[in-house]
Amino acid sequence: MLQGKTVLLGVTGGIAAYKAAALASALVKQHCCVEVIMTAHATEFIAPLTFEQLTGNRTMVDTFDRNFVHQVEHVSLAHRTDLVLVAPATANVCAKLAHGLADDMLTTTVLACKCPKLIAPAMNTNMFENPVTQDNLGILRRYGWEVIQPATGRLACGDTGAGKLPEPEQLLQHILRRLALPHDLEGKRVLVTAGPTQEALDPVRYITNHSTGKMGYAIARMAMLRGADVTLISGPTAIDPPPFVEVVPVVSAADMFDAVAEHSADANWIFKSAAVADYTPAEYSGDKVKKKDGDMSIPLTRTRDILQYLGDHRRPGQFICGFSMETRDMLENSRAKLEKKHVDMICANNLKVAGAGFGVDTNIITLITADGAEELPLMSKEAAANRILDAAKAHEKAEQE
């Protein structure tokens, strides 16, 4: 997702410098060009050659190194950098960057960068919590830096507390949020529902469906990467929540209705991709229901229709998209749903078509609106999510014209 992007990774003199190597590797796997600048102290913890082997680029340490093409190297690098991340950042480097000191290759180059800048402080807990360090981090925030909060745990010095460098995967997610996709949804508040619901019969058993939540989670993640403020209301799933998204966990259809009712008024766009149970047991038994001969029927009652509620209570300018999983007469059933629920779009798919449906990483979706139907080809659920978001954006633009 980072093809064509250049990330400047600044590595300073802390024991967590080894994690920067794993981050560099992860960035390269995202087809990113990684330029590494190390402080002299950082080279005491990890060799520059490690980064050179991982990135394919020369690791820079010395401002006055003559082994490069004749140009002002720190200025040239600053011009071609899309994002700066200093990780790990010592208290000393945080202080220098906060006050514009430029006495080595890293601080000189960063001072010349106009791109987004991130910093991940990593140090002893007492050093991190020292008011001077906190003031310096506050100054960096005021100058537009994003300060990535350190993790809490056992530190290399033996103390326990805040100061650990987050894991490379977490740092990568911060970079992806900034660089992976254009932020064309900046300022949008997006609400997504995902996953199944569980309707309890007794303390042991429940009724559910085969939804895994993958489609809804993909929409939430893509909207976040495109700059939206995303709330994800999720039934029980085995998927890790997307980062930088507010996740509201629910279990039953009633829980999901209440959560949607609470959060929907503030949303600009709503994507109701959850597979909510249409029926729930009429009675709940506080004790496990025992096996018995004879009638084993389970009386059921209808759940509240969330999509109908959204369509009936929509506010002006709100975009609402429902989902339709069919096994036959997909277009006819989905068009009827579009009209009955008073929504703007239905994303329909057929469970019997290979590559669509529950539990797979691909989908074949037909986007149905009042103006017609657009059948999308087989694609990953993340690619499909982007097409769904594009359709929402186009619909909103058309409504405004």
Domain segments of the chain as ranges: 6-180, 189-400
Q: How large is the average pLDDT for residues 273-290?
A: 93
**Cβ-contact 337, 321 below 8 angstroms:** no
Least trusted range by pLDDT, from 125-129, 187-191, 323-327: 323-327
pLDDT reported for residue 356: 83
Same fold for the pair 6-180 and 189-400? yes
Binding annotation for CTP? 278, 288, 323, 337, 341
Mean pLDDT along residues 106-112: 94
pLDDT for residue 311 is more than 70: yes
Name the residue among 239, 188, 170 with its Cα closest to residue 19.
Answer: 170
Mean pLDDT, range 57-70, rounded to an integer: 69
- Binding-site residue set: 278, 288, 323, 337, 341
Taking phi over 0 as left and psi of -120 to 50 as alpha, with beta for the rest, 9 belongs to beta
Q: What is the pLDDT of residues 219-261, one digit of tens each?
A: 999 999 999 999 999 999 999 999 999 999 999 999 999 999 9
Q: Coil, strand, or helix at residue 144?
A: coil
Per-residue pLDDT, 160: 84
Average pLDDT over residues 50-76: 75
Of the pLDDT bands very low, low, confident and very high (cuts 50, 70, 90), residue 73 is low
CATH topology of domain 189-400: Rossmann fold (3.40.50)
pLDDT at 324 exceeding the cut of 70: yes
289 pLDDT tier (thresholds 50, 70, 90): confident
Average pLDDT in the 138-145 region? 98
Assess whether pLDDT exceeds 90 at residue 163: no
pLDDT at 70 over 50: no
On whether the CB atoms of residues 146 and 155 are closer than 8 A, the answer is no
Model pLDDT, residue 179:
97
Average pLDDT of the residues in 376-394: 96
Which of 112-121, 285-294, 357-366, 369-378 is the least confident region? Answer: 285-294
Is there a contact between 141 and 135 (Cβ–Cβ < 8 Å)? no
pLDDT band at 32 (very low <50, low <70, confident <90, very high): very high
pLDDT reported for residue 65: 59
* pLDDT value, residue 334: 93
Write down the pLDDT at residue 72: 47
Residue 96 corresponds to which tokens in the numbers above? Answer: 């220098």
Mean pLDDT calculated for residue range 23-30: 98
Catalytic residues: 157
Q: Phi and psi of 380, rounded to 5°?
A: -65, 160
Instruction: Please give the average per-residue pLDDT across 26-48, as a whole number.
Output: 96
Higher-scoring residue by pLDDT: 400, 365 = 365
Q: How far apart are the first and last CA of the chain?
A: 33
pLDDT classification of 292: cutoffs 50, 70, 90: confident
Given a cut of 80, whether residue 68 has pLDDT beyond it is: no
What is the rounded average pLDDT of the residues 276-286?
Answer: 94
Question: What is the C-alpha separation between 172 and 24, in angstroms, rounded?
Answer: 9
Mean pLDDT over each residue of the chain, to the nearest integer: 93
CATH no., domain 6-180? 3.40.50.1950
Take residue 131 and report the two structure tokens written for it.
């008011």
Q: Which of 66-75, 205-214, 378-387, 391-400 has the lowest mean pLDDT?
A: 66-75
Of all residues in the chain, the percent with pLDDT exceeding 90 is 85
pLDDT tier at 51, thresholds 50, 70, 90: very high
Query: Is residue 18 very low, low, confident or very high in pLDDT (cuts 50, 70, 90)?
Result: very high
- Each residue of 247-265: b (16+ CB within 10 Å) or e? ebebbbbbbbbbbbeebbe
Indicate the Cα dihedral angle 173, 179, 181, 186, nearest 10°: 90
Residue 390, Cβ neighbours under 10 Å: how many?
A: 13
Q: What is the mean pLDDT of residues 353-377?
A: 90
Whether pLDDT at 74 is above 80: no
How much is the average pLDDT of 55-61?
94
Close Cβ partners of 118 (under 8 Å, ≥ 6 residues apart) = 83, 84, 85, 86, 87, 145, 146, 147, 148, 174, 175, 178
135 has pLDDT over 50: yes
